Structure 1
Amino acid sequence: MFWIHLLVVLVFIFIGARKGGIAIGFAGGAGVLALALLGAPVAVTKHTPDGDISYLPLDVIAIIMAVIVAIAAMQVAGGMDALVDLAERILRKNPKHLSFLAPVVTYFLTLMAGTGHTAFSMMPVITEVAKENDIRPSRPLSIAVVSSQIAITASPISAAVVFLSSTLEKEGIDYLQILAVTIPTTFVACMLTAAIMMAWDKMRGTTELHTLKIYQERKAAGLVAPTGRQEGREITWAGKRSVAIFLLGLLAVMAYSTAISDKVGLIKDPPMTRDAAIIAIMLTIGTAIVLTCGVEPGRILNSSVFKSGMSAAICVLGVAWLGTTFVKAHEDTIKEYAGSILTDHPWTLAIVLFVAASLLYSQAATTKALIPTALAIGVSPLAALASFAAVSALFVLPTYPTLLAAVEIDDTGSSKIGHYIFNHPFFMPGLIAIVLSVAFAFGLGAIII
């Protein structure tokens, strides 16, 4: 039944990926039902002597929801406009370094917010600055999108990092050590990727926009919008205040996580877990923004951040549940066939995570579905941490929302998707960045841990 169940998983993931968006979560739930009808025990709750273990990804979803509502409140207050305005000023003052600065901006926006959807707000700016300076938008856009995805594995409040830390702490690696490895390795990898891709473009002579035939054709047909700084973005004190409140909340999360760490030990008997603290602090941020920034709560529900975030939560619910149900139903078989390979060649875990993430479309869902199983079959905690960046392989199929948005926003035609699915401008930068991140993490992790 292993292969039949695997086929069911792949079919429903394919169905969800074809439709995109929240349909991925719907298809995941339908896949769980199909597995149940074929005799697979649905992973819901396991009773152990130490307490019940839930295999539904409800903890991950709760964190996603709490972080998203806090960011949505900041967006309604005008905080996202303030951040985008600051980022736009940085990019416009240094247009020659756009291919480096664009991924820096999206990386740190994601690092701070815990979601890659913040990249949506920067894509029009990146495209505009590229067009104004005769740069093909595909290069800075592709690296910026990849950086926003990989930064999830370095964000102190992302659901993927929080779940990984709760899992690895049982193996002796704490939250601070995880961040000490993931933040520098992923950031340096993204910057090196930008340098490699820029050098490759210069060697091929594909840097300048005016040399692109499709751009000339689209421009002649009037399909390329004129450039110019966007007007009408009003930066208010309420918006700036909301950013300050959110940053204070982020610092509070990191401070509390540090204080309860076994290696720091400032709080011996913490009143709540890190997961609970993140949820409580994020909801408190939302409360503070609503009370001090004049935000109407009803507007939060209609914000773009809230809608995309809730869609992501449903996707994680369906896909992670589907993946966990399959893995738990065939855990012994997976251990038998994959255990020796993964323990003898720990770097192959990165390949497994890479492939799984390209299908599951979620760093958190991939982490939740596979990292505990990898540790259970003998993969070392260091290898699990070093391979973690590979869960960001959401760029493989050209159907992920931020990738599609970048293609749509680039009206020059430089970011087009080829006929062979994988030949799009996001694949190589993403692959290089993940390979470098994993390689650096194995090296730095061995030193820190």
Structure 2
Amino acid sequence: MIWIQLAVLISLILVGARMKGIGLGIMGAVGLLIFALVFGLKPTTPPIDVMLIILSVVTAAAALQAAGGMDYMVSIAEKILRKNPNHITWLGPIVTYTFTLVAGTAHIIYSLLPIIAEVATKKRVRPERPLSISVIAAHMAITASPISAATVALTALIAPLGYELTDIIMVAIPATVIGVLAGAFIASRQGKDLMNDPEFLERLKDPEFVKMLDGESDGKSEKVFSVASKRSVYVFLIAVLSVVLFAAVPSFRPTFLIDGKMQPLRMVEMIELLMLSAAAAIVLVAKIPAPKVSQTSIFRSGAEAVVCIFGVAWMSDTYLQANMPFFEANLSEIVTDHPWTFAIALFVMSILLFSQAATVRALMPLGIALGIPGPALIAMFPAVNGDFIIPSYPTLVAAMGFDRTGTTRVGRFLVNHSFTPPGLTTVIVTVAVGFLIATILL
């Protein structure tokens, strides 16, 4: 029966992933209904903490976007990239990583990808190189950002084990940075040099194509940003730093008498309060209409993420809890002796779910139940970045679309595309380095 239930779960995940948008969430609800009515499985508690914390972070980021703060941050990145065109394969991923780390979402890179493609093309650097690793870097930064949906989801799950947000980021940030640099090294040697690429040389025979490549904007016309948009960035950065500060120093949080003992406010509630307050401050400082926040693309995407986690995580958690005796009897010895094998499960699940946060919420509870130590779970956390394997994720599609030379593309066998070599390298190196750092620090 357990295998039939698993087949139902995977089938509905695949259907939901193909639907995109809120597909995973609504198909997850269908799966849970089947589990309850057909198999008699008792639904577990919905992931309320995770959903609320994601919604609060998304609200702050959406307020920043509505105030023009996101555009201001992108303009800063554009200046950096255009001033150093010869190092675009290294600077591109550094910029996308940094901006995703601060913003907590990879959506910010859509405005950066055409700039990276343009700068690379004009310097006759194969655009596939900086574009591929820049996308991978943004995805990896999601698992290092203190305010990303995936990180806050893991924070809520491992808090009972005695580990805080600071434990996650002090392992994830250096590990992902090293992993991204390793990926950039692989990307810098990917494919032929642009001026030796037969397909590109053939395209150069078309005068219109050459004109299109070299006639694009050179970035000299600088957009003027309002004081309010700049202030919104400052408010957002202060909020992000406050999250890290309150996580690092629990004594700064308000304390309450619980079961006869003074205990600090949970970091889950602290993040929610800080980010919602940041959204309020941005609305007031930038003097933007509050309804404008919910109309942004970030808010819509965030709302979709909440619905997806609601359905698919609830379904997965119900399945795992109902069959936990089976998993404990058959898997606990393997993952205890070889914890890194759980990273493979995380990677494979992320390929199916197309979401780091949904993967964390769906599978990390199993790792905790199987007795995998907290430091090992933190080290394996970046393994949830397998969403690049099937090249249909929006950031990958956008990168391929912005490459006018056609070097960033899908291979004959679908998975052998431009993002696979730097992506696999980055994930493997990051997890390996994460284990090393976690062993030393945690």
What's the TM-score, normalizing by structure 2? 0.91
- Which one of 323, 326, 330 corresponds to residue 337 of structure 1? 330
**1:21, distance to aligned residue in structure 2 (A):** 2.8
Distance 1:265 1:60 in 2: 20
**1:209, distance to aligned residue in structure 2 (A):** 5.6
Summarize the Cα distance change of 1:285–1:219 in structure 2 as closer, same or farther, 3 Å threshold.
farther
Tell me if 1:325 matches 2:318.
yes
Give the secondary-structure state (helix, strand or coil) at the position aligned to 2:112.
helix
What's the TM-score, normalizing by structure 1? 0.90
Q: Residue in 1 aligned with 2:113?
A: 123
**1:437, distance to aligned residue in structure 2 (A):** 0.7
**1:195, distance to aligned residue in structure 2 (A):** 1.4
Distance 2:10 2:358 in 1: 15
Asked whether the 8 Å contact 2:136–2:423 carries over to 1, the reply is yes
Distance 1:219 1:129 in 2: 21
Asked whether the 8 Å contact 2:164–2:247 carries over to 1, the reply is no
Give the secondary-structure state (helix, strand or coil) at the position aligned to 1:227.
coil
Q: Residue in 1 aligned with 2:145?
A: 155
The one-letter amino acid paired with 2:206 is: A
Report % sequence identity: 39
- Which one of 228, 232, 243 corresponds to residue 217 of structure 2? 228
The one-letter amino acid paired with 2:226 is: T
The one-letter amino acid paired with 2:351 is: S
Give the secondary-structure state (helix, strand or coil) at the position aligned to 2:243.
helix
**1:155, distance to aligned residue in structure 2 (A):** 1.0
Tell me if 1:287 matches 2:280.
yes
Matches within 5 A, 1:26-45: 26-45=26-45
CA deviation profile, 1:362-388 (whole Å, cap 9, x unmatched): 222211222222122122222211111
Backbone CA RMSD of aligned residues: 2.3
Distance 1:233 1:216 in 2: 36
Asked whether the 8 Å contact 1:416–1:424 carries over to 2, the reply is yes
Moved more, 231-240 or 387-396: 231-240
The one-letter amino acid paired with 1:386 is: A
Asked whether the 8 Å contact 1:32–1:322 carries over to 2, the reply is yes
Q: Residue in 1 aligned with 2:131?
A: 141
Q: Residue in 1 aligned with 2:372?
A: 379
Q: Residue in 2 aligned with 1:25?
A: 25
Distance 2:200 2:306 in 1: 38
Q: Residue in 2 aligned with 1:388?
A: 381
Matches within 5 A, 1:227-306: 227-229=216-218, 233-260=223-250, 269=262, 272-306=265-299
Unaligned runs of 5+ in 2: 257-261
Summarize the Cα distance change of 1:141–1:327 in structure 2 as closer, same or farther, 3 Å threshold.
same
**1:128, distance to aligned residue in structure 2 (A):** 1.5
Asked whether the 8 Å contact 2:255–2:265 carries over to 1, the reply is no
The one-letter amino acid paired with 1:130 is: A
Give the secondary-structure state (helix, strand or coil) at the position aligned to 2:362.
helix
Distance 1:9 1:214 in 2: 45
Q: Residue in 2 aligned with 1:80?
A: 70
Tell me if 1:361 matches 2:351.
no
Number of matched pairs: 433
Summarize the Cα distance change of 1:403–1:22 in structure 2 as closer, same or farther, 3 Å threshold.
farther
Summarize the Cα distance change of 1:60–1:411 in structure 2 as closer, same or farther, 3 Å threshold.
farther
**1:321, distance to aligned residue in structure 2 (A):** 1.9
Tell me if 1:414 matches 2:407.
yes
Distance 2:26 2:224 in 1: 38
Distance 2:201 2:11 in 1: 38
Summarize the Cα distance change of 1:316–1:221 in structure 2 as closer, same or farther, 3 Å threshold.
farther
The one-letter amino acid paired with 2:35 is: L
CA deviation profile, 1:125-179 (whole Å, cap 9, x unmatched): 1111112111222221111111111111111112322232333343343332222
Tell me if 1:437 matches 2:430.
yes
Asked whether the 8 Å contact 1:40–1:325 carries over to 2, the reply is no
Tell me if 1:189 matches 2:179.
yes
Q: Residue in 2 aligned with 1:350?
A: 343
Unaligned runs of 5+ in 1: 46-55
Q: Residue in 2 aligned with 1:49?
A: none
Give the secondary-structure state (helix, strand or coil) at the position aligned to 1:154.
coil
Distance 1:309 1:255 in 2: 25
Tell me if 1:57 matches 2:44.
no
**1:222, distance to aligned residue in structure 2 (A):** 5.1
Asked whether the 8 Å contact 2:36–2:43 carries over to 1, the reply is no
Asked whether the 8 Å contact 2:194–2:200 carries over to 1, the reply is no
Q: Residue in 1 aligned with 2:259?
A: none
Tell me if 1:308 matches 2:301.
yes
CA deviation profile, 1:105-130 (whole Å, cap 9, x unmatched): 11111111222222222112111111
- Which one of 84, 89, 93 corresponds to residue 94 of structure 1? 84
